[in-house]
Amino acid sequence: MANTIEWIGDAGGFLRLLDQTKLPTETTYLDCRTVEDVWQAIKRLSVRGAPAIGVSAAYGVCLDAGSKESALAACDYLATSRPTAVNLFWALDRIRHAIEKHEASRLVASLLEEAKAIHAEDHDLCAAIGRHGADALADLPTGAGVLTHCNTGALATGGDGTALAVILELHRRGHEPKVYADETRPLLQGARLTMWELMERGVDATLITDSMNAQVMREGRVGAVIVGADRIAANGDAANKIGTYAAAIAARYHKVPFYVAAPSTTFDLTLTSGDQIPIEQRADEEITCGFGKQTAPVGAKTYNPAFDVTPAELITGIVTERGVFKPGEVAAALSSAQAK
């Protein structure tokens, strides 16, 4: 697998990102040398996935840390790139704390150390999520179908992923899951990215359109659904790529367990429910002229939310680096861990 995020050089270096808008046909890298470069890369989805966005933004601040004032301004600017993924704000808050704590004379080196720590910690979180999720799904028969939506692998994180880490761990353990990957319209992250990752790793994967997942469940092909999340409220409501809510409804109707996999950094305990999660609205052209080909009449009105919110009552369990919890249990578990 290619490196999704890589810092090149020392404190005077730059951030190299795998341009995910070019996959799967091209492996192209973006060398980000300014905060603006990183902002644009996040905004246009060259880098995407909540944990990867947070890691990239942390490195991005290091590109303009000549003074505490400029570093704090970089934090504020990068926070405007995308509104839903809470990992972005978590990582920037951590960088702000490091800015206040360290001397200006070695600010860039200190912030780079902090960004690298955030990156390394996410790698470890992914591994733990994979283990706990694979334990939760250990009773699935060998070769059972697992459905996933959007992309939640190495491309979206600093490690093996969240939901995809669980699938990869099942594969490593010899369970041989048969993955059904939703295409994930309108930008096809499932088709372009998830299928690419799974095929690279030798996992049995079948691509379907989003509108097919209910039928695949009806046919008994799916033993479990596992997805990621960009923000989870205190009650367990989870925001994820648009189409996740529909998959959860179909799973409940067909009595298929539905899991969300996410690190503790994806939880926003300041929000009591998913109704308070800000939902990013994307450009009309993603629907009317996707990938450069016009598919709707000129002037067609669109509604293009990037995310939807799955209510906690539709979620069987939330897989975190600390274990698997019922949605209503997570806030207390995380609060207890933070208190320690």
- Residues identified as active-site: 230
Q: How far is the C-alpha of 318 from the C-alpha of 323, rounded, in Å?
A: 8
48 marked as binding residue? yes
Q: How far is the C-alpha of 33 from the C-alpha of 90, rounded, in Å?
A: 23
| Residue 119 Cα to chain centre, angstroms | 14
Q: How far is the C-alpha of 285 from the C-alpha of 97, rounded, in Å?
A: 38
Q: How far is the C-alpha of 268 from the C-alpha of 72, rounded, in Å?
A: 22
Calculate the CA dihedral of residues 102, 108, 111, 116 and round it to 10 degrees: -140
Amino acid identity for residue 177 in this structure:
P
Q: How many other β-carbons are positioned within 10 Å of the β-carbon of residue 50?
A: 29
Q: How far is the C-alpha of 168 from the C-alpha of 81, rounded, in Å?
A: 30
151 marked as binding residue? no
213 marked as binding residue? no
Q: How many other β-carbons are positioned within 10 Å of the β-carbon of residue 27?
A: 11
Q: Which of 163, 145, 157, 320 is nearest to 227 (CA)?
A: 163
| Residue 187 Cα to chain centre, angstroms | 15
131 marked as binding residue? no
Q: How far is the C-alpha of 51 from the C-alpha of 58, rounded, in Å?
A: 11
241 marked as binding residue? yes
116 marked as binding residue? no
Residue with tokens 């939902």: 279
Q: How far is the C-alpha of 259 from the C-alpha of 315, rounded, in Å?
A: 6
CB-based contacts of 293: which residues, under 8 Å, 6+ apart? Answer: none
50 marked as binding residue? yes
174-184 b/e with 16+ CB inside 10 Å = b? ebebbbbbbbb
Task: Please give the annotated binding residues, written as ranges.
Answer: 48-50, 82, 189, 240-241
Task: Please give the annotated binding residues for substrate, written as ranges.
Answer: 48-50, 82, 189, 240-241
